[in-house]
């Protein structure tokens, strides 16, 4: 049985804790959510706030679930100077959990690619 750790709002696996609370990154192409094609919503794995809708998800080829737009007000961004580069970090606006990064190489209409760790998300399919 896997050990679990206390997150901001809930209990997280060690892997989820490393991403959401310690700014880690999962290996590319390891998340089942990368291939999720059903209609539904993607929420923060810690606090449950809905972050992205499936109609904003697309295949970026990056190896992580990618979205061109978050739910309004659901994410916040900060400058990330780690790893010797400047990137824009994306985190949950409710619990401040690290989700991934946003890059200016996405599709229209926003031109943005929200590159998100699958372990930082949960998926709820639309019923009906």
Residue 62 to residue 72: CA distance in whole angstroms: 24
**Quick check: is 115 catalytic?**
yes
The helices-and-strands tally (H runs, E runs) of the chain is 1, 11
Torsion angle defined by CA atoms of residues 10, 15, 20 and 25, in that order, rounded to the nearest 10 degrees: -160
Which residues are tagged catalytic?
Answer: 115
């Amino acid at each position: 049985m896997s050990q679990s750790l206390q997150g901001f709002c809930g209990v997280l696996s060690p892997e989820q804790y490393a991403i959401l609370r310690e700014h880690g990154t999962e290996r590319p192409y390891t998340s089942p959510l990368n291939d999720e094609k059903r209609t539904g919503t993607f929420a923060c794995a810690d606090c449950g706030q809905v972050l992205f809708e499936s109609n904003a998800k697309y295949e970026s080829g990056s190896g992580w679930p990618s979205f061109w737009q978050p739910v309004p007000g659901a994410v916040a961004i900060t400058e990330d100077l780690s790893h010797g580069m400047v990137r824009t970090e994306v985190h949950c606006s409710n619990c401040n959990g690290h989700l991934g990064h946003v890059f200016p190489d996405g599709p229209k209409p926003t031109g943005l690619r929200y590159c998100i760790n699958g372990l930082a998300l949960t998926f709820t399919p639309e019923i009906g």
